[in-house]
Amino acid sequence: MSAPRVIVGVSGGVDSSVAALRLVQEREAVAGLFMQNWADDGSGDCRAEDDRRDAVAVCGKLGIPFHFRDFSAEYWEGVFAHFLAEYAAGRTPNPDVLCNREVKFKHFLDAARDLGAEKIATGHYARIAHDRGAAKLLRAVDRNKDQSYFLHQLGQEQLSATLFPVGELQKSDLRTIAREAGLPTHAKKDSTGICFIGERDFREFLGRYLPAKTGEMRDPAGHKIGEHPGVFYFTLGQREGLQIGGVRGRAAAPWYVVGKDVANNVLYVDQDTASPYLHSTTLWSERAHWVQGGPPAGHFECTAQTRYRQADVPCSVDVVDDGSLKVHFQDPERAVTPGQSVVLYRGDECLGGAVIARTDAPLEQQLAEQAA
């Protein structure tokens, strides 16, 4: 049997199933490969074996070869260790961005080439355009499902060897295609949240690796409001899980996380969802990655997202000498979170992005000055 030209990452979900189907319909020489990225931790919450069975069933239905690779060691080293270090430092990382860069478009691509394939394909909602020998990363047609935010760390080598067969589809149409083709995953629920946590309680999971350390919850003026189980369990703007009851002299209104002082183990909270302590107009990033290999200019205007599914916001970007960014927003942005990614766009084209290092949110500035 000749080597397949394309290896599809079959996850056991409907998106990758239809990606494989479309390639088969285009008469491509296709095979499927299931990646195990998380070793079973004995909790019973990992659905990898169920997903693998679904992936095998899809490949069987389509009549294409099935391959399996265990990347759990690579995932631990390239993604999960960083995830824990970031939370321990009080930041909120995005493991999906790292997983794409370090596993799905690195080790998976290498495995596909070892199998003799020229290209890989995935069920990501994104598109690739080729212009004068360069690959451009574009948003998906279905903007509500677009995943270019998570793919912004990819470069020319990866994109030139990648296909996104579902990037032109609406999710509703994709499910119809899957059902009409008789794919066993056509009605399967989409996975949500962080892949290795699944449906389990996030705080309980993180507590296995970062032991709880209780501390004070204070308002921005420094008054004690309550206690928290560990600052790394919370992220800016979070409302759920604070478990603040009635506070004497305060309105019966929800509380929100507005700051974290990791060094002193203090969590800052405020009652106003539009609290000025949550807003910033400027962020500074770590070294940026550019899809085209470099920035469009040293200073330029574009739009940005600082979290997934956020509406684009206008901004100006300055590229610092060390490759990091200073991004200034036209209007104050809420809950811009260190550890998350700022991703830059011009229209549908994703230019690249970077991890957010700090912002000019008032409380963050104040804590930085105290630490200096």
Rounded CA separation 189/194 (Å):
15
Q: Label the pairing between strands 266-270 and 6-9.
A: unpaired
Determine phi and psi for 337, rounding to 5 degrees. -115, 120
Q: Is 146 helix (H, G, I), strand (E, B) or coil?
A: coil
> Does the annotation mark 46 as catalytic?
no
Options 59, 99, 315, 350, the catalytic residue: 99
Could you confirm whether 99 is annotated as catalytic? yes
CB 244 within 8 A of CB 226: yes
Q: Contact, 13 vs 190, CB < 8 A? A: yes
Query: Which one of 59, 195, 315, 350 is the catalytic residue?
Result: 195
* Phi/psi of residue 217, nearest 5 degrees: -100, 130
How far apart CA 288 and CA 265 sit, in angstroms, is 30
Amino acid in position 245: G
Concatenate the DSSP letters of all residues of 275-325 into one string: -GGGEEEEEEESS-EETTSS-S-SEEEEEEESSTTPPPEEEEEEE-TTS-E
Are 239 and 256 spatial neighbours (Cβ–Cβ below 8 Å)? yes
**What's the Cα-to-Cα distance from 220 to each of 92, 253, 314, rounded to whole Å?**
21, 16, 29
Measured between alpha carbons, how far is 12 from 64 in angstroms, rounded to an integer? 14
Beta carbons of 326 and 296 less than 8 angstroms apart: no
Using the Cα atoms of residue 195, residue 196, residue 200 and residue 203 in order, give the sign of their dihedral. negative
Half-sphere exposure (Cβ direction) of 247: Cα atoms closer than 13 Å: 20
Distance CA 19, CA 174 (A): 9
What is the rounded distance in angstroms from the CA atom of residue 60 to the CA atom of residue 65? Answer: 8
- Return the active site residues: 99, 195
